[in-house]
Amino acid sequence: MFKKAEPVFALIDCNSFYASCERVFRPDLAKTPIVVLSNNDGCVIARSYDAKPFVKMGAPYFQIKDHLHRNGVVAFSSNYALYGDMSERVMTLIETMVPSVEIYSIDEAFADLSGIANLDALGRKIRSHVLRCTGIPVGVGIARTKRLAKLANHTSKRLQTETGGVVDICDPFKCAWVLRNTDVSEVWGVGRRMKVHLDSLGIKTAMDLATSDPTMLRRKFSVVIEKTARELAGTPCLELDEPDPPKQEICCSRMFGRRLTELAPIKEAVAMYVMRASEKLRAQGSVCKKIRVSIRTGMFNPEEAKYTNGVIVDLPYPTDDVRLLTKVAVDALYSVYRPGFKYSKAEVLLLNLCKPGEFTDDLFPVSQPLGATNLMGVLDKINNRWGRGTLRSASVPANPDWAMRREMMSQSYTTKINELWTVGRKQA
């Protein structure tokens, strides 16, 4: 009778992911501090390690622009198409090297390494392979539970020179050292408020939490903190998650690059958001029965009049047809638009999602024509092959002047054929 292998988890986490993506295609910035900005170049949402001494996360760009320039920090607008594509490449490589993977976020993945020998060597192989094939540096933390793997990964980055970016704490002695030398605030699941409560109980380090009475923690706080303590003590409470079920709602919402007062550009924005939402709808193989359209003004400028409104519309039949969804959404916009306001945002929400054939209707329901289903399939195939927006609704402009401000955005090196990375000989 075979003995079941002890569980072993790895957390593979990309280092300063957004900044690393920018550096892959800009080797001249290998030693230059980098920050990446939010939508409309609003605030800092990502920093390279060497940029952290100069700027705090969330700092408004307009306030720190000159400060960054004086300190040689280069700012980039968010290039989500590039980051998403690079993430897919990294995750695909990881999936070829381990038995099973849970993609936790755009730059993190848990892997099940149970029963595998020489874990440190595997971690270094993963790190080397991902770096060589994508240019993205990763840290690898290996441990008996997912929370310990998180701590191991944190240690791999904190002590990168000493560890080479890979830390295996399956050994009890190494695990105890990491627990003793990690503040409790660094533990996955312990937020700022919880740290204050734990401090009042004398729980200062991860080791303090691991050796606390889990029953008392559950009674005083919650089952989440109890499981956190048990995981730190080496008892697995979290398994690798199964793939997420299809979403029950799909939302597409964006801030405009400038305030809009006329209806025409808002209609264009709504049409574009419908296109994005319908792509996600078809990608998960669903149709929707209702759609909600809403618009609002800026809510924080005391000198601007405030207005927000939305409407839910029933569709004639469950559909994923972008043409029908666009028509219904634009028609609905007329009922909520009011002249005289400066609009800053629109939102499209697809509701009551289900799989084709799963909905219940009357005896003679109207259903989506087969021709529309086939057309949407062709639309998606063309856009998947030649890039998003190659084929789109006529009401969606190619380069709208109301689009998000991204004045410092890098090229879409991997997703647009006219922006591919080029290498030229330097002129003498």
What pLDDT sits at residue 244?
57
Q: b or e along 375-392 (b: 16 or more beta carbons within 10 Å of the residue's beta carbon)? A: ebeebbeebeeebeeeeb
Q: How far is CA 200 from the centre of its chain?
A: 34
- Quick one: which of 319, 314, 313 has its CA closest to 336? 313
Question: Is position 177 within any domain?
Answer: no
Cα 58–Cα 61–Cα 65 angle in degrees, nearest 5: 135
| SS3 labels along 313-358 | EEEEEEECCHHHHHHHHHHHHHHHCCCCCCEEEEEEEEEEEECCCC
Residues in the chain: 428
Confidence tier at 363 by pLDDT (50, 70, 90): low
Q: What mean pLDDT do residues 23-29 have?
A: 89
Annotate 189-206 with DSSP letters as a single string.
Answer: T--HHHHHHHHHTT--BH
What does the CA dihedral 34, 88, 325, 369 come to, rounded to 10 degrees? 160
Enter the tokens of residue 215.
């029953």
Is the domain of 136 the same as that of 208?
Answer: no
- Which is more confidently placed, 406 or 159? 159
pLDDT number for residue 404: 65
Does 140 score more than 90 pLDDT?
yes
The residue segments making up the domain with residue 300 are: 250-386
Question: Is 262 in the same domain as 343?
Answer: yes
Q: For the ranges 35-49, 95-109, 373-387, 403-417, which has the lowest average pLDDT?
A: 403-417
Residues 149 and 23 in one domain: yes
How far apart CA 108 and CA 150 sit, in angstroms, is 10
Same domain, 259 and 325: yes
pLDDT in tens, 239-285: 776 555 678 889 988 888 788 999 999 999 999 999 999 999 999 89
Strand partners, 10: 111, 142
Number of domains in the chain: 3
State residue 190's pLDDT score: 84
Across the chain, mean pLDDT equals 87
What pLDDT score was predicted for residue 1? 47
Tell me the pLDDT band of 426, cut-offs 50, 70 and 90: low
The owner of tokens 């000159």 is: 66
| pLDDT per position as a tens digit, 278-317 | 999 999 899 999 999 999 998 777 888 899 999 999 999 9
pLDDT of residue 428: 46
In a shared domain, residues 50 and 102: yes
Q: Is 398 inside a domain boundary?
A: no
Exposed / middle / buried, residue 24 (Cβ in 10 Å: 0-12, 13-18, 19+):
middle
Q: Give the predicted TM-score (pTM) of the model.
A: 0.73
In this structure, what CATH number is given to the domain that contains residue 11? 3.30.70.270
- Asked if residues 12 and 39 have their Cβ atoms less than 8 Å apart, the reply is no
Question: Could you tell me if 206 and 145 lie in one domain?
Answer: no
* Same-domain pairing of 14 and 75: yes
Which one has a higher pLDDT value, 125 or 194? 125
Cα–Cα distance between 408 and 18 in angstroms, integer? Answer: 14
